[in-house]
Amino acid sequence: MARKRWRSLVTGMCLVLPVVVPAASWGGRCATGLRGDKAGRFETARPLPRRSALRGVAPVPTRNASTFVTDHFRLLWGDAYDRSDPDWADADGNGRPDWVDETASALEYAYQETVDLGFPAPYGVGNYYLDVYFANTGVEVYSTEQGQWVTVTVDSSYYAYTEIDADYGVAYFVFNDDFSQHADDERSVLRATAAHELFHAVQRALGYPWDDEEQVSDTRWRNELWWFEATATWMEEVVTPDVDDYVTYVQRFLSRPEEPLNSQDGLHEYGAAIFPGFLWLRYGATDLWIDVFSNAFDEGLESALRTALDVRQGESLEDAVAAFWSLAAHPEDFWPDGEQFRAPAVPSLARAASTLPLSYTSSPSTAPGRFGANLFRLDRAPETLGVTFTPVNPATARLAVSRAGSSEIEVVDAPEGRTDIRVSGEAPALLAMVNVGESPLDFSLLVEGPDGGGSGGSGGCFVSALGL
């Protein structure tokens, strides 16, 4: 999947959901729709064994296909592409459309970068070249199930998707022939999309059979697929840091911090990339991710995250999520693209509320779901804050506080009653009340100075509520 506009609705992995794309500025990151009803699914060609690559010859059952074989990929396209599209010109005269060459280069680059980071090679690449079909160009594949030739197509709303050929145990990809509906700089987005889609094949190689509807129930998939899209999205940032197509999704994600972290709506799961990005930046990149992916299928995703954090960091998942949300309230102090996360969709992340003492009560629309948060900004906060937490129903919460300009965080349990939390410094304080329970967190909150009042000689503490 790519970063600015993504896809999520046709087949395979750019994962799953009946996504509704809200506006022309959003593109389907992945074209990976509901697994039981994948509109773009077709019977693929028999994979080409790496030991007997026949360059320029596409084996049956494909037809109307030109091919280009690289070190790890075989790219197939038809002759019905738009010859007026400059991306499909042959500028260097090598006999191939430029879009094909760009895709080949992007995939090989992503392959090398990903393997160099310590991840395994994409699923099936040890035995076969990974096929790449260019949709909407007229390339056809014979469907034994339908008993007829099927033209490979994908809706213009989507960039690409990843699938698994279960008969041969190998990943393959379908790329749109045109990104112009959602991307001004199509070739840059193509590079990011290649990194995203390739990582879906790496996820499969790490042992989680996300394509298998018998082993992974729809209920489980709905709970866990966000992690697969979020990590593939962050890999765009790792492989193509100059392409910031994912930022609009992060802006939307941060505008609704109260949503459960694992929510999926075709947008949220891509914006959630900054959570695995937080783990990547804070805890040491590849190793923790590999631990999670390697154990997620057997243990469940949440258990695998919990174990990886405990074994490697001695930290609970609850504390990690709370720390994440406090930093997410001032993302420019932690994430490389953090300044962009604020604008234009959420220019400040904050709205004026009152002065200390602050009194707040959640509403049905703002009560945080599991691993969601309510965020607050205290522009002039004392070093010690008295926070009185009153849940409406029995609840489990974490309280995290950090200061603008710093990535240092204080995290404490939020039991019912008053908790004093200290965070040194004079910069604005960012407070996150995070739901680490199963039910929505309905609560009241009172934030005071250490003596139960305002902020002393500062003349009052101006407070802003984030995402309320």
Q: Residue 379 maps to which CATH number?
A: 2.60.120.510
More confident of the two residues 87 and 451: 87
Q: Which residues pair with 434 in a beta bridge?
A: 373, 398
In a domain, 246, yes or no: yes
Q: What's the number of domains the chain is made of?
A: 3
What mean pLDDT is predicted for residues 409-425? Answer: 89
* 213 and 229 together in one domain: no
Q: Identify the pLDDT of residue 35.
A: 34
Distance, in Å, from the CA atom of 366 to the CA atom of 466, rounded to the nearest integer, reads: 11
* 50 and 116 together in one domain: yes
What mean pLDDT is predicted for residues 428-440? Answer: 92
Select from 308, 342, 376 the last residue of a domain: 342
Q: How many other β-carbons are positioned within 10 Å of the β-carbon of residue 98? A: 17
Q: How many other β-carbons are positioned within 10 Å of the β-carbon of residue 55? A: 10
Q: Identify the pLDDT of residue 28.
A: 59
Give residue-wise pLDDT tens across range 287-337.
999 999 999 999 999 999 999 999 888 999 999 999 999 999 999 999 999
Residue 158 tokens read as 């989507």
* 153 and 33 together in one domain: yes
Residue 191 tokens read as 């590079």
Residue 361, pLDDT > 70, answer: yes
In a domain, 212, yes or no: yes
Residue 391, pLDDT > 80, answer: yes
Q: Identify the pLDDT of residue 203.
A: 98
> Left if phi > 0, otherwise alpha if psi is -120 to 50, otherwise beta: which for 169?
left
288-313 burial, b if ≥16 CB within 10 A, otherwise e?
A: bbbbbbbbbbeeebbebbbbbbeeee
Alpha carbon distances (Å) from 249 to 172, 177, 269, 436: 26, 23, 8, 24
Q: Which residues pair with 346 in a beta bridge?
A: none
279 in Cβ contact with 327 (< 8 Å):
no
Q: Among residues of the chain, what percentage have pLDDT more than 90?
A: 64
* 94 and 240 together in one domain: no
In a domain, 68, yes or no: yes
Residue 1, pLDDT > 60, answer: no
Nearest to 335 by CA among 407, 441, 388, 413: 407
Strand 170-175: give its sheet, edge to edge: 6-8, 28-30, 158-165, 170-175, 130-134, 73-77, 66-69
* 41 and 182 together in one domain: yes
Nearest to 262 by CA among 6, 2, 15: 15
Residue 461, pLDDT > 50, answer: no
Average pLDDT, the chain: 84
Report residue 382's pLDDT band, with 50, 70 and 90 as the boundaries.
confident
Contacts of 131 (CB under 8 A, 6+ apart): 44, 45, 47, 48, 73, 74, 75, 76, 172, 173
Query: Is the preceding omega at residue 97 within 30 degrees of 0, hence cis?
Result: no
Q: Identify the pLDDT of residue 449.
A: 84
In a domain, 208, yes or no: yes
What mean pLDDT is predicted for residues 381-393? Answer: 90
* 364 and 336 together in one domain: no
Q: Identify the pLDDT of residue 136.
A: 96
* 120 and 36 together in one domain: yes
Phi, psi of 413 (to 5 degrees): -65, 155
Least confident of 39-48, 298-307, 353-362, 404-413: 39-48
Q: Identify the pLDDT of residue 460.
A: 36
Residue 31, pLDDT > 50, answer: no
From first CA to last CA, the distance across the chain in angstroms is 30
Distance, in Å, from the CA atom of 227 to the CA atom of 72, rounded to the nearest integer, reads: 26
What mean pLDDT is predicted for residues 118-141? Answer: 94
Least confident of 51-60, 71-80, 286-295: 51-60
* 394 and 448 together in one domain: yes
Give residue-wise pLDDT tens across range 363-374.
999 999 999 999
Nearest to 297 by CA among 235, 238, 221, 397: 221
What DSSP character marks residue 444?
E
Q: Identify the pLDDT of residue 155.
A: 86
Select from 294, 316, 342 the last residue of a domain: 342
Alpha carbon distances (Å) from 172 to 158, 161, 426: 16, 9, 53
Pairing mode, if any, of strands 130-134 and 170-175? parallel
In a domain, 1, yes or no: no
Report residue 358's pLDDT band, with 50, 70 and 90 as the boundaries.
confident
The residue segments making up the domain with residue 328 are 225-342
How far from chain centre, in Å, is Cα 194?
14
Q: Identify the pLDDT of residue 395.
A: 86
Q: Identify the pLDDT of residue 23.
A: 33
Q: Identify the pLDDT of residue 52.
A: 41
H or E stretch at 132: strand 130-134
* 240 and 196 together in one domain: no
Report residue 424's pLDDT band, with 50, 70 and 90 as the boundaries.
confident
Select from 217, 248, 269 the last residue of a domain: 217
* 286 and 375 together in one domain: no
* 270 and 404 together in one domain: no
* 293 and 387 together in one domain: no
Q: Identify the pLDDT of residue 433.
A: 93
Residue 174, pLDDT > 60, answer: yes
| Residues 214, 215, 220, 226, Cα dihedral to 10° | -110
Q: Identify the pLDDT of residue 122.
A: 97
